[in-house]
Structure 1
Amino acid sequence: MQIIDLLVIVAYLVATAWLGLVLSGKQKDLKDYFIGGRTLPWWAVCLSIVATETSALTVIGIPVMSYLGDLNYLQLGFGYILGRVIVAFLMLPRYYDGEMITAYAYLGKRFGQSTQTTAGLTFLVTRLLADGVRVLAAAIPLKVILDGFGIHTSYFVIIVVLSLVTILYTFIGGIKAVVWVDVAQMLLYVVGGILAIIIVTATVGGGWVTDAVEAGKTNLFVFEGNPISSSASFLPSFIGGAVFAMASHGSDQIIVQRLLSCRTKVEAQKALIWSGLIVFVQFAIFLAVGLALWTYYGQATPTELGLTRDDEIFPLFIIEGLPTGVSGLLLAGILAAAMSTLSSSLSALSSSTVNDVYARLKRTPMTDEQGFRVGRWATIGWGIAFILPATVFESDSGSIVILALGIAGITYGGLLGAFIFGIFNRRANAVDANVGFAAAVAVNAFLFVMEKYVTGEVWVAWQWYPLLGVIVTCVLGGLLSLRHPAPAMRERVSTS
């Protein structure tokens, strides 16, 4: 690493904040700030969705999966595509009905304010924890860089700097700034991944492909193992991945907020489905990076390379194996991925805080001016709050990708289950939905805590968490709903 690499990274951080502010335009009201006045083109929203769900986890976490294993992570990509198609035609039309600003407004419309507030609060907590891991993922390569320059600092300081820069353009520019910066950031880190493959191939030749094939590292489908507890098996990856995508893209405000910023429902559907195809290609690119590095480093393990975390494989190559200037560009790409997710989270957390919590708890009607002001302060508050979980999860030695997805999966099932429950069970009321939702979150949280902090054993693969949550919510809520008369019977009783 040379000083020019550090200058490239600093220049990128400054340019990102500037670009977001220039492209955002003036924000006049809540609709402008949170869903861009519904004026954003579908292709920009599509790329923003991809950038948001990618984060630094994909850039540094996925290469190590193929480096240490094979290509079975792509099985998840097939499920992701299926799940998005279902969301596009089952859930999106309901969001566009009634000019909603958050995903949880549908639950409020169907079950009442208590369910909307419960879902909103759950989203806030889960997103805070999961994205704390994503911020940590961005801090890992930056710490390696600074150590190389003799600047020994803590993860805490790096996380604070990243958070402050992202807060700046999100606070002022709102969702428009977030989406347009996401587009630029996504192009940067994808080009960075492709560039890494080209440079490795130029260094070691195309033999890395042959090496991977001969070692069985190009296996895509895995049908062995326990389909309940093995996260590498096809069934949890495909079916669980489809349900996971339905939850993340149909009930998570961070994605729904983008879809609601499209001009029409049809454009939102197009953006959602195309994002699944692009994510699949993106997975393939970074898995190929891992296979190439496996040959580049002579099949050495991370420990043999002197690394303290497996996730440092790709950052190590960026620092040691790339030409001056290119290293800085690729590291800026990792920052791009991290900041796109962080900015997206800040905007989504802020909108949910205002519309699902503040507006519901406020005794008098909320004005646009009040909501706008609270939304901006919420952006600052949540940006600062990211620092704590990012620091806490620093000690976790497992896969950083699986850690983040597992945390998100704890509540995804309950949220998705509440939506499905509300759509198909017309007999249910708010109590039925809330009890089913709470039970689903409790079951998944129990499994996660037992695996991570008690037994160390995987009882249920993380891909199954959303489906398990849906089942618990719908079954328990459905049983409770039997206490009430069916809608038709209710009408007959009221008229008599």
Structure 2
Amino acid sequence: MTPATVILTVAAYLAALFAVAWYSGRRAGNAGFFTGGRRTPWWMAALAMIGAAMSGVTFISVPGSVAADAFSYMQMVLGFTVGQFVIAFVLVPLFYRLGVVSLYEYLDGRFGVSTHRTGAWFFFLSKMLGSALKVYVVCTVMQLLVFDHYGLPFWLNAAATMLLVWLYTQRGGVQSLIWTDTLKTLCLVAGLVLSIFFIARALGLSAGRTVDAVAASPFSRIFFFDDPSSDRYFWKMFFAGIFVLIAMTGLDQDMMQKNLSCATPRDAQKNIVLTAFCQIGVILLFLVLGVLLYLYMDRTGLPMPAKSDQVFPQVAVNGGLPLVVGVLFVVGLISSTWSAAGSALTALTTSFTFDLLGGSRRFDDRRLTRVRRRVHAGMACTMGVVILGFGFFGDDSVINLVYKVASYTYGPILGMFVFGMFTRFAVRDRWVPPVAVAAPVLSALVQAAALRWFGYRIGFELLIYNALFTVAGMLLIVKRHEK
């Protein structure tokens, strides 16, 4: 696949993306930008959410992971499904009843302004680092496929990417994102299914024989009950999946902004339940694709890349498959990444405007529009700088460390919401920030101590420890004789 073909593919997708964004956001005001006007049909929100949970990192990492982790990720996906039901029937009614624009406004009413801002800053840090990392990973692929060929620097790659993301989201916000995420879902699922079809055909496998080949592969093992100390142990992954989904979707402004754009709580619940079941199928297809990729590499003698993330790109672009497979790979990669970045920009703009600047409490509608546009541009520039930072400093160890730190920040948010929803205690609001900072530090110490002293690996369930430390800390700062 030549660089010119990649450029034409990206240009065609961008034309469709900008057309959809312009059409859907042409009459969007502040209500449309922040909440979609709460007029989104539930089925469209469900289509948007299926793709919203996937990023470019998912697109290239999940298929490559099967060699090391088999299908163990499905254990976590089962937990995700339970978590979706908790979001639908516990969090959605709460947020609709309160009528919040930003989720973290709940913390203000429940505890006070310091807790509110603490939740918002933790979200800001996590989303900025996580989203910038996801865009960075894809920028490195585009650098390899296109920019290096023409001698163009990485900073131009990152700047062009963020400029395009800012352009297609700056007018419509959530109102546009619902439509563009729907486009992303259709492109992602179509690319995934067609990639499986073409690779299976290249292997000479019919549909039935493809199922048999995947089932016979040692990579297709799903359940791991044998070693409780392993990262892949079923109950660890299952319960971690529940709490990770609640924290990283139900308490994430980026994800919930789309769910809360539905007209009624019941519509939002139907959207979330449908998304939960569709997500199982989509992730299973990603894992099936991973098995087929390794079978194809073994059959054709393709050299194994240094990193598992490079398996899908290598087979799709340089594996001798029909050109359409490379085109599908590029479309899936670009659509998932730019949609995720646009969604993150909109959520960061909403949270910063309402949680940290006061939103509609401080500004009338006209001034709110000006503030929102400035914040949105500022978020795009900040994300671009973070991406350049990854490019300058980013070796694998640094990137993995930052990604883990970003994931830790959801623990305090989960702990604050759990404490607020399941107790009636009031706390000393000014002491919440130190508690929220201490929780991830203590969690990291526990993780290190468990591995050193007991040989026990704490994996994704670290989020649970993090939230528990936050709850325990808030119990220590309860106002006595007040509930």
TM-score clears 0.5: yes
Secondary structure (helix, strand or coil) at the match of 1:261 reads: coil
**In structure 1, distance between residues paired with 2:380 and 2:455:** 32
Residue deviations 1:146-175 (CA, integer Å, cap 9, x gap): 26x833444433222221111101111211
Q: Name the structure 2 match of 1:493.
A: none
Does 2:411 match 1:413? Answer: yes
Give 1:127's aligned amino acid. Answer: K
Query: Residues 33 and 447 (structure 1 numbering): CA distance in 2 closer, same or farther, change over 3 Å?
Result: farther
The 5 Å alignment of 1:341-420 reads: 341-359=340-358, 365-394=362-391, 395-397=394-396, 406-420=404-418
The 5 Å alignment of 1:266-345 reads: 266-298=266-298, 304-305=303-304, 307-320=305-318, 321-345=320-344
Does 2:166 match 1:170? Answer: no
Identity %: 25
Give 2:417's aligned amino acid. Answer: F
**RMSD, aligned CA:** 2.8
Residue deviations 1:262-292 (CA, integer Å, cap 9, x gap): 1011111121222222222111111111100
Query: Residues 86 and 458 (structure 1 numbering): CA distance in 2 closer, same or farther, change over 3 Å?
Result: farther
8 A contact 1:5–1:324 mirrored in 2: no
**In structure 2, distance between residues paired with 1:82 and 1:437:** 26
Q: Name the structure 1 match of 2:258.
A: 258
8 A contact 1:243–1:467 mirrored in 2: yes
**In structure 1, distance between residues paired with 2:464 and 2:168:** 36
Query: Residues 458 and 55 (structure 1 numbering): CA distance in 2 closer, same or farther, change over 3 Å?
Result: farther
Residue deviations 1:80-137 (CA, integer Å, cap 9, x gap): 0111111222222111123210110111111122211121122111111011111023
Secondary structure (helix, strand or coil) at the match of 2:439 reads: helix
Give 2:376's aligned amino acid. Answer: T
Of 217, 220, 224, 2:222 maps to 220
8 A contact 1:405–1:462 mirrored in 2: no
Structure 2's unaligned 5+ residue stretches are none
Q: Name the structure 1 match of 2:149.
A: 150
8 A contact 1:102–1:352 mirrored in 2: yes
Q: Name the structure 1 match of 2:481.
A: 485
Structure 1's unaligned 5+ residue stretches are 488-496
Give 1:474's aligned amino acid. Answer: V
**In structure 2, distance between residues paired with 1:372 and 1:460:** 48
Secondary structure (helix, strand or coil) at the match of 1:485 reads: coil
8 A contact 1:84–1:272 mirrored in 2: yes
Give, in angstroms, the shift of residue 48 of structure 1: 2.0
8 A contact 2:33–2:175 mirrored in 1: yes
Of 443, 468, 471, 1:471 maps to 468
Query: Residues 205 and 271 (structure 1 numbering): CA distance in 2 closer, same or farther, change over 3 Å?
Result: same
Residue deviations 1:182-204 (CA, integer Å, cap 9, x gap): 10011101111111111111111
Give, in angstroms, the shift of residue 459 of structure 1: 6.9
**In structure 2, distance between residues paired with 1:114 and 1:380:** 26
Give, in angstroms, the shift of residue 213 of structure 1: 4.3
**In structure 2, distance between residues paired with 1:71 and 1:404:** 26
Query: Residues 73 and 464 (structure 1 numbering): CA distance in 2 closer, same or farther, change over 3 Å?
Result: same
Query: Residues 398 and 192 (structure 1 numbering): CA distance in 2 closer, same or farther, change over 3 Å?
Result: farther
**In structure 1, distance between residues paired with 2:154 and 2:56:** 15
Q: Name the structure 2 match of 1:490.
A: none
Secondary structure (helix, strand or coil) at the match of 2:309 reads: helix
Secondary structure (helix, strand or coil) at the match of 1:222 reads: coil
**In structure 2, distance between residues paired with 1:192 and 1:18:** 21
Give, in angstroms, the shift of residue 433 of structure 1: 4.4
Give, in angstroms, the shift of residue 486 of structure 1: 4.0
Secondary structure (helix, strand or coil) at the match of 1:386 reads: helix
